[in-house]
Structure 1
Amino acid sequence: MMNSAPPPPGDDPRRPAITPQLALRVAVFGGIAFVMFAIVFFRLWYLEILSGDQYVSQANDNRVREIRIQAPRGDVTDRNGATLVTNRQATVVQLEPGRLPKDNTERKLLYLRLGKVLRMKPIEISREVNQQRRLLPYANVTLSLDAPRAVLNYLQERKRQFPAVTVTDQYVRRYPHTTLAAQLLGTVGQIDTEELKLKRFKGVKQGTIVGQSGIEWEYDRYLRGRDGAQLLQVDSMGGFKGELRRRQPVAGSNLKLSLDVNLQKAGQEAVATAGGGLPGAFVAMDPRNGEVLAMGSFPSYDPSVFAKPITQKKYNELSSEENGAPLFDRATGGLYPTGSTFKPITALAALANGVIDTGTVINDPGCLKVGIQEFCNAGKTVNGSLSLRRAIQVSSDVFFYTLGRDLNGLKGQQLQTWAHRMGLGRHTGIDLPSEGTGLVPDRKWREEIGAKELACRKKEKKPSCGISDARPWSVGDNINLSVGQGDLQASPLQMAVAYAALENGGKVVRPHLGLDIEDSEGRLVQQIDPPAARRISFPSGARQAILDGLHGAAAGPGGTSTDVFKGWPQDRYPVYGKTGTAERPPHPDQSWYVAFVPDKNRPIVVAVTIEGGGFGAEAAAPAARQILSQWFFGRSGQFVRGESHTR
């Protein structure tokens, strides 16, 4: 048998022939592989050659941590240097939201472990985290202030079991007198996202503690220091390797206020005693320049509750009317009818417009009839023939009803004009972030609210919207205003400003609290000049006639507060004061007293109001006497209730 020759190359029957279709496939796949290889090669070249420095830098950054060093806020003192607000260091347990476990189960286990250590329920921790992240989305969540040292050591020694938990020292505000002047001094807290947009906080970083209310807000740019920073080198686990750089914090400046801490204490105690727990407020001011010597609102609260973001429940407690709304500053924001303390303003308007002169005598038969309406004294008391001085002394309503009737529509609305001149119905300009404007009712205002009421009824298809009774202005409105009733609204601070103008002869001062900015050593940095006062002119003889009436009301026979000031040294410190009893249906009557003592060296004007306190002589006037006692004698003295039942 002959052997056959091997097949020529390419003719191997076991290998498929290379067809054009197969060649195309090989070419396509080869091209794809080449492109992919080229992309990978280019990326490696880009990372190594072009971006190497950038990634080295980022890697270094990952090993550097910036730790903020909190700057202490400046202290707040009274006019004599007594500390009202200062700082203390507190050890704080916080959670860093960005480092919390992403897994829900792991996060719950962390809350469970942490809750056992801090004696908190896991649900409480979760609630705190959610609430604080909603208010301050980029800030750490504070869970505990002043945790025991054993707790802190436990957490520090078990960092791996408590990821996202940090223990740090912070400055927190300390209030040596707890609730004293709380509404006035205000609170602080971490700046939130909305505040960061404000011009006043330009350049302030997230997490900075800033003023939130009161003096803390008003003078924040002085009190707030400049935080420092510490750059630390750490390993991949966050362990400390060394300090790279440090920028020291700069403490805030100190603020000296015009307050007298002892007078402030006396005022708050007097209002609490006078009202028997009823809400109230007081103001004590220097009538020469508007320096606020004391000012407070009852009930008060301890501002230290704001050391960490406050819970909604606690905030509701402090805002609740049932609890007396402790957060509300009644001295500047409480707006009420003033009762008979308004009568000197009515007298000024009548004297300035020739309705009466200082010698005019008006008969008071107990009631004044106007059309079908009758306006009467309390208990329909008959006072007979009265001069202006005597009418103020015994607080005759009928005398002033007559003036209100005769002033209605005279040369415009002169009663309202004089009320505005004396500082009512407008901001006083005090150096606080907010205050009430109040209301001096007039014809235009009544027309405006009447139109709103009618528009609302039409839109809502209701018989009444409760805005107003939609009636036109009447002479009865002016009569009510003449004795501080009706729709009049004024704050204790506004009434103090009005009476200060009577004391000083026509200077409508702008009340203020700030005196000096000082450094940490007590050296003067900046003096806060008192704002300019507005001048008004009184009719000839008008001021003296009114002053005679006010002094008679506090010291003369039949004076509405004479019994309250029984035993007071009127020859040395003469009191010029007026009681007021404001009707506030459906609420009980509001007690008012406004007075001044024009002492050469230490003049003072005081305004006190007690919600539901009844007649002015029963509650407000006794509180005012205690405040004056503290100012002139260094002690509050005996609490003396008056017996006058005159409005």
Structure 2
Amino acid sequence: MAPQRLAGRSGRLRLVVIQALVFSLFATLFARLYFLQVVDGAEYHAQATSQSVREIVVQPQRGLIVDDQGRPLVTNRLSWVVAVDRTMLGKMTERQQEILLERVGGVVGVKVPRIQRQLDTWNGSPYQPVPIASDVAQRVALRILEQPEDYPGIVVDQQSVRAYPEPYGVNLAHVLGYLSPITEGELDQAEERDDESVNGASSVGRAGVEKQYDRFLRGMPGYKSVAVDSMGRVLGDDGEVEGEPGDTLVTSIDAKVQSVVEQQLLERMRYQRTQRDPVTGRNYVADSGAAIVMEADTGRIVAMASQPTYDPGVWVGGISKKQLDRLYSDAAGTPLLARATQGQFAPGSTWKPFMTAGALTHGYSTDTVLNCSSALRVGNRDFKNYESGAYGYIGFAKALEVSCNTFFYRIGLDYWQRYGSDVADVDAKDPLVSEAKEFGFGQETGIDLPGEASGRIADRQWKRDYYESMKGYYCKISNKPQDADTSDFVYLFAHEFCAEGYAYRAGDAVNFAIGQGDTLVTPLQLARAYAAIANGGTLYAPRVAKAIVSPDGEVVRRIAPKPVGEVDVPEQTLEYIDSALKGVAANPSGTMNWKLQGFPLDDVVIRAKTGSAEVHGKQTTGWVASYTDDYVVVMMISQGGTGSGSVGEGIRKVWETLYGIDGMDVDPDRAAIPGVTPPERLPTFMQDGTILPPARQED
């Protein structure tokens, strides 16, 4: 019996121990539950709530861009956008992801590798759906919306994108610019500046006024909180912070004038391509061109066109690689390059008025006469007049009127002989170079558009610098026997360059005097310099923008004309040049006169200068620079032939548009701009969003 009692006690003891352990476990569990639910319950509830609410950026409406009359140049429109929720995608198997992306890619017309790249490079919030297709057809968007079971994690909604109303058919791509998604580096910089106006889903200006005035146009984004379930599906809105739409940019561009300028430039280029070049024996290439209309007294840009151009709408919703390659393609003429501000060309005879100013302020006088012979020998080379014409002994006014090269060759040679015959002296005095710089050539004009080119003054210092940078290349060619891949010209040039490429010779000086050689200008620089002659000597930083206006119609900022310098030329000298340039247009021997037959020059007094710049290996670049008391109009075509021959008719049509000219009749009521000259006042912005033209000022 004793062993049995002992065994019973032992069993009960084990039971008690087990019961104690179970009780202690339950006690610990209950204590923990009490701690979690009562002591820290509020904190954990808040965390759980926050995990089910996600913040999504709501992009603001970007500001409008309008012309001087309030006509919209850039607006916004709604676009169906298909996006992928990466959170939902991450909860799928790899095979499920492949099937989903193939399905949605097939519907929206985007290949899976491209979708994957967009997902991998997304800069925005991880909870923000990643856009993979914009401007999706409504039927496609509705198909996805109506079949959510086939497209889990695919979000379809309407977003605001840029639209181009094209008043009067204008293109204006190089002035307006375009947008593209913000980069990771830009986003990091914005965060360092505490700039809350951009985020990972932002698109920012990349060119034109879209870039220059991006901070005004972009607005301030809003934020929307959405409740989601455990699978990341949106259950509903949980609150929203309203964004602020961007400001409106009022420009000095006039769409009606811009339309005529664009049409004339394109028509003249197309026409020249049908004409035979007597020098090369083949049709003109007319590969690029530019045209500018500028207010003479303010530097404001009324119209600006470049060819070739492109459709700014190609950037909306993301540009394809094929489209981007074309914009940079040499075969397509690099359409992305704005010739008006970024193209650099030899100015030819349009350069001569500034050389006249240099000569008349450095020893020559209006009574000076020089021989306009058919050629001038410099060293062992004859520098010729156009078509070897000769006019005998003439003064500056006649030299400008008939565009005599040898007249200006003699001036350039005279200064070189007096001050610079030491070919290695980079500091030698050169009045013509100094005058070119006085008129702002060789440096950016300061226009409110990004990416402006500076042009080039090919003076002694430039030639020395160029020699230092290139002598290794050319000396390598000249120091070895000529091979089959090196032409005789290149081999001879390399030998001469290696030996004395730094030398600024008499030939360089005479070429400089007529805008030939290595000197380059942009069409905008030339327009600005002619405006300085027209307005009495003031150089302006050209302006496209006139004002920033808030969404409620209040003027945030006026953008006034910006004078940046005065040319150091006596008033009487500028008046003499002005009078001479009238002769280019009005006198029978003037090089622009034949294009202005039957034009009311007594009522609309045009001053002009033509230019035909010869470029090695290419056809002639044609220029016409012209102005009145109100405007400067410049047009040029690369490889288009002589100045007046290539663009003279286009220049005339622009002047007829500006002043309302029909034959010999001048009717201000027919002028493109009401009142003939651009309005000082801004468009009127109504509360309902309507934009009215500026109110006419009382006389």
Q: Secondary structure at the match of 1:282?
A: strand
Instruction: State the one-letter code of the partner of 2:266.
Output: A
Matching residue of 2:615: 584
TM-fit CA distance, 1:190: 2.2
- TM-score, with structure 2 as normaliser: 0.79
Counterpart of 1:379 in structure 2: which amino acid? E
Q: Is the 8 A contact 2:293 2:304 kept in 1?
A: yes
Which of the two has higher C-alpha Rg?
Answer: 1
Picking from 637, 657, 660, the partner of 1:610 is 637
- Give the alignment partner of residue 336 of structure 1, picking from 329, 337, 345: 345
Mapped to 1, the partners of 2:401 and 2:250 lie a distance apart of 40
Q: Which residue of 1 aligns with 2:648?
A: 621
Letter paired with 2:403 = S
Shift of 1:349: 0.9
Maintained 8 Å contact 2:177/2:209: yes
Matched, 1:431 2:448: yes
Cα distance between partner residues in 1 of 2:429 and 2:129 = 60
The answer (yes or no) to whether the contact 2:607–2:626 under 8 Å persists in 1 is yes
SS of residue paired to 2:623:
strand
Matches within 5 A, 1:198-217: 198=189, 202-203=195-196, 204-217=198-211
Deviation, structure 1 residue 310 = 1.5
Distance in 1 between the 2:206 and 2:566 partners? Answer: 34
Per-residue deviation, residues 548-580 of structure 1 (Å, max 9, x unmatched): 221111111211110111111111111111111
What residue number does 1:174 align with?
A: 163
Q: Structure 1 residue 44: deviation in Å?
A: 9.5
Mapped partners of 2:388, 2:475: distance in 1: 42
Mapped partners of 1:341, 1:43: distance in 2: 91
Cα pair 2:170 2:258 within 8 Å, conserved: no
Q: 1: distance between equivalents of 2:32 and 2:317?
A: 50
- Aligned pair 1:270/2:279, yes or no? no
Matched, 1:90 2:79: yes
What are the equivalent positions in structure 2 for 1:248-327 lying under 5 Å apart?
248-276=242-270, 278-327=287-336
Match of 2:439 among 422, 444, 450: 422
Question: Any idea what SS the aligned residue of 1:250 has?
Answer: coil
CA distance in structure 2 between the partners assigned to 1:346 and 1:531 by the alignment:
26
Deviates more, 1:381-390 or 1:394-403: 381-390
What's the secondary structure of 1:88's corresponding residue?
strand
**Structure 1 residues 69 and 615: alpha-carbon distance in aligned structure 2, compared to 1, 3 A threshold:** same
Q: Is the 8 A contact 1:135 1:192 kept in 2?
A: no
- Partner residue of 2:694? none
Shift of 1:527: 1.2
Q: Which moved more, 1:441-450 or 1:156-165?
A: 156-165
Q: What is the SS of the residue equivalent to 2:593?
A: coil
- The answer as to 2:217 corresponding to 1:186 is no
Deviations 1:250-295 (A, max 9, x none): 1111110011111111111011011117321111101101111111
What are the equivalent positions in structure 2 for 1:500-519 lying under 5 Å apart?
500-519=531-550
User: CA–CA distance in 1 between the matches of 2:436 and 2:43?
Assistant: 71
What whole-Å deviation, never above 9, does each CA across 1:181-235 have from its counterpart, x for those lacking one?
A: 1111011122121222346883322112221211011111111111112212233
Q: What is the deviation of 1:457?
A: 5.8
Which whole-Å CA distance do the structure 2 matches of 1:44 and 1:379 have between them? 103
Secondary structure in 2 matching 1:541: helix
Post-superposition CA distance 1:431-457 (Å, at most 9, x none): 112200010011111111111222456
CA distance in 1, matches of 2:351, 2:399: 13
Residue 75 (structure 1) aligned with residue 92 (structure 2): no
Change over 3 Å in CA distance of 1:365–1:461 after alignment to 2: closer
- Residue in structure 2 matched with residue 227 of structure 1 by the alignment: 221
Ranges in structure 2 where 5+ consecutive residues have no aligned partner: 7-27, 271-285, 421-427, 481-489, 665-699
Residue identity in the other structure for 2:157 = T
Q: Percent identity?
A: 32
2:103 to 113, 134, 144: 113
Q: Tell me the equivalent position of 2:114.
A: 127
Contact 1:196 1:202 in 2 (8 A): no
Q: Distance in 2 between matches of 1:265 and 1:477?
A: 40
The CA deviation at 1:634 is 7.2
Whole-angstrom distance in 2 between the partners of 1:455 and 1:45: 84
Measure how far apart 1:97 and its partner are: 4.3
1:482 and 1:461, CA in 2 relative to 1: closer, same or farther beyond 3 A? closer
* Per-residue deviation, residues 581-610 of structure 1 (Å, max 9, x unmatched): 111221211111111011xxxx00011111
Task: Note if contact 1:230-1:247 (Cα within 8 Å) is conserved in structure 2.
Answer: yes
- Is residue 2:599 matched to residue 1:564? no
Structure 2 partner of 1:482: 513
1:516 deviates by: 1.2
Letter in 1 for 2:450: P
Decide whether the 8 Å contact of 1:88 with 1:171 is kept in 2: yes
What's 1:14 paired with?
none
Matches of 1:548 and 1:64, distance apart in 2: 75
SS of equivalent residue, structure 2 residue 376: strand
Greater alpha carbon shift after TM alignment, 235-244 vs 319-328: 235-244
Number of the residue aligned with 1:382? 390
Aligned partner (choices 14, 36, 47) of residue 58 of structure 1: 47
Does the 8 A contact of 1:519 with 1:525 survive in 2? yes
Q: Distance in 2 between matches of 1:193 and 1:471?
A: 45
> CA separation of 1:179/1:462 partners in 2, compared to 1, >3 Å: closer, same or farther?
farther
Once structures 1 and 2 are overlaid, which stretch shifts more, 407-416 or 490-499?
407-416
SS at structure 1 position matched to 2:541? coil
Per the TM alignment, residue 48 of structure 1 is displaced from its structure 2 partner at its CA by 7.7
- Using the TM superposition, name which of 219-228 and 56-65 deviates more: 56-65
| Aligned 8 A contact 1:358 1:541 in 2 | no
CA contact (8 A) 1:93 1:166 kept: yes
Q: C-alpha distance in 1, partners of 2:312/2:194?
A: 22
1:413 maps to what in 2?
430
Give SS of 2:614's match.
strand
Greater CA drift, 358-367 or 174-183: 174-183
Select 1:452's aligned residue among 451, 461, 469.
469
Aligned length: 600
Q: What is residue 539 of structure 1 aligned with on the other side? A: 570
Check 1:596–1:132 CA distance in 2 against 1; reply closer, same or farther (3 A cut). Answer: farther
In structure 1, the residue matched to 2:555 is: 524
Q: Summarize deviations over 1:370-426 as a string: whole Å, max 9, x none.
A: 221211112211221111100000000000111111222367122111111101100
1:137–1:61 CA distance, 2 compared to 1 (3 A): closer
Task: Give secondary structure in 1 for the equivalent of 2:97.
Answer: helix
Gaps of 5+ in 1: 10-38, 638-647
Change (3 A) 1:127 1:636: farther
Letter in 1 for 2:396: L
User: Is it true that 1:402 corresponds to 2:410 in the alignment?
Assistant: yes
What is the aligned-residue RMSD (CA, Å)?
A: 3.3
Other-structure match for 1:472: 503
